[in-house]
Structures are given as C-alpha cells and as structure tokens.
Structure 1
Amino acid sequence: MSDRTSASTGLKLPERLRRTLAAAAAEAPQARLMGTRARGSMRPPRAHVVVAAGEGQIESARGPARIVRRLELYRTSFGPVVRLAFSIYHDATEVLSAATVIDVLRVSGDAALSGLGRQRELPFHFYAAREGDLEYAFSKVIPNDDERRAEAKEVLGMAREHLSATPEERRSFRRALALASRNFELPVPEPGVEG
C-alpha cells in the first residue's frame, strides 16, 4: 500500500477494507493499524491508525482534543493478541473510543507494530461512514515519544516470543482473539483519572 496521503483524501484504503470498516462503523467506531510505505521504497513500513465512525462521532474529534492510547498484550493458548486501544477526549462529554487488534503472525501486523517501535509520530486518519462507504474527514498526528517506542518494541518482542512458544498446529488468531476479547475495555481513561 502506498504511504501517500493528501489533505483531501487521507490514505488510499483498499476497497474491501473501506466497505468492511464502513459497515462495522454503522454499529460502533472502528480502527485499524496499518503499515504503509511508498511504492518501491526500501524504508520500513510506517504505522498509521485509520478511524471510522458515524459522521457526528468523527466531527466530535475534530479540533483540539486529547488522544489517550494503550498498547496491550494478551497471551492465550492459541497465540498472542496485541491490541491498540484509544480514546479521544474532546471535552468532558464527548469521547470517541475504538481499538484495533494486531496479528503478529501476519507480516502486515508485525510490520505495523514494528513501525510503532521506530517512528516519532503516529498519524490518525479519520473517516466518516456514509451510505456503505467511507469519506475522508481529517488527520491528526500525535507524538510517539521514546517511552512509547520502547513499549512497542517490548510488546512486539514478547508477542513474537509467545508466538514461537505456541505450537504451530495450535496457533489460531481467531481463537486467541475470542479468548482475549473477554478482557477488552473502553474507554481508555485519561492519566490520573480513575477508570
């Protein structure tokens, strides 16, 4: 996938992903962590977060807002599940929360998580779900400081280690996700606020 973005179009999302996110966003906000690079580039992929939700929810995240995120690792008997959860606090009443799971068994999942361990910024691209498709709204770029990069590298290392310790015939991301999802929570509380 190309890393090209513009102020009016955002990331060039594959058609199947657009339709899947648009359909799911009709029920609840959705997110995907994607690793992208420029065509023909030798540079490693760069991680981007794609956020899809109803138009009103997307608009609530526009302008000054605080993005609080948490990277989680779940170890199951079927392999690891890594989850990036986030909440966007616009004001005391407006909170947009979503999460994406990362399958480190897949090259794309491993690459996206690796990007979180390298890059100094993390772009969020917001899309409004409308009539079965996504319409690009805006993007925000948040810092990915030394502590966050170290955390991503540590989580990736632990996930790879757990995956290698899981017998190949037992590995199933679908089953691992079913077990891990019992512990998923949103919203991600703001630091210093009891959740």
Structure 2
Amino acid sequence: GGNLFEELTSSSNLALLTRPKTGWSNGIFDLNNDGWKDLFVASGDVMDPRGSFRERVPMTNSLFVNLKNGKFADATPTAGPDFSTLKGVHRGSAFGDIDNDGRLDLVVTELNGPLRLWRNASPVPNHWLLVHVTGRKSNRDGMTAKIKVTTDSGSQWNIVNTAVGYGCASDKRVHFGLGKDDTVRELIVTWPSGIVQKLTDVKVDQIRKVEEPAS
C-alpha cells in the first residue's frame, strides 16, 4: 500500500534547469564518485511536427550534479571547455569506464555527425568500486542481478543492466562511487537464480570480479 512515486522535478531544480533544452538520452550515474547519483542529458532538437523543412537546432549536452540535499545544479559550464560549447543534434548515450580508472566515461551519438567519446578526467580523489559479475546457474552475464554495497556512510543498491539511455547499451559492470570511504564493509549479490552471495571487507578502487557460486 501507499504511494510509490513522488513528483520532485520542481523541488530538485530540474524543471527550471532542463526547460531550455530537448532531452533525449539520460543517464543517472555517480560521475564524481562522491556516493550520490548525478544526471547526464544528451540534447538535440526535433523535427517540426507540422512537417516543415527547417534545420534542426544543435544543442550542447547537459550535466547536472547532485547537491546531496534533494537538489541538482547545472555543472555543464565546468565540465570542460568542449563539453560546454560543442553543439550537435545528439541522440543516444552510453556509459562505462573505458580506461578502467574508476571514473565513468560517456559515449554520445549525433545525427549526421561523429560519435563522441567524453573521457571523465574529474580530479576529485574519491574512492570507487566496479563490480563485474559472471553467472553460472543464472545467465552468464548476470543480467538483473541486484548488488548492494555497504560502507561506513551507508548502503547503495544497483542492478546489472545495460539498457540505459536511448538507443544504446552501456557497460554491464556496476559502478559505485564511495566518497571518502576506504573499505566496503559488505558486498551482497542477489543472483537471478535466487542465490545470495555475501563478501566482506572488500578493497576499494578496484574492479572486483564476482562469480556466482554453484549453489
């Protein structure tokens, strides 16, 4: 019973921040590893519904950082000179740690333009964990496995799923930003088979491989 969703677009500042642009592919990820999910939006104009032949209007993409108080701020101007000025008719976006440094990178597609790779070069020295699961009794990719990590600051949850954004598939490895916490006290994987696997005192700043037990 009870309500499952609460409308927070206005109170989170996102109604005002996103109004000037058309949003296509969105991704909710911790892009600065502080333990709080941020929001990336790939933007690009659409065709006039009346069938006119006007040119599409190129736009910059947007990055909104989580302020940890239920609100977001526009971090696009400080995300890099190219990020904040390079315009295009963007559509799809995929997310993953391409260079395995613990910071999530972006790949964005553009109509009649090049695919663009945005490498995350954030200087913030926060900790992270990337969990790479392999199923045995479950499907080999471990799709839909639920992952919970607990540190001194609390718990985070995520799911193994590549279907993020619009028209793209993202890295199946599950990323957790951990802020200043230097140990994962507990890592729990609930596999699609129903098997629950628990690991304790997991080191941070690593790609942790987890294989499903036989039973």
TM-score over 0.5 (shorter chain): no
After TM superposition, the score normalised by the length of structure 1 is 0.30
Q: As a proportion of its length, which structure holds more helix?
A: 1
Structure (1 or 2) with the larger CA radius of gyration: 2
Q: Which has the higher contact order (CA 8 A, sep 6+)?
A: 1
After TM superposition, the score normalised by the length of structure 2 is 0.28
Q: As a proportion of its length, which structure holds more strand?
A: 2
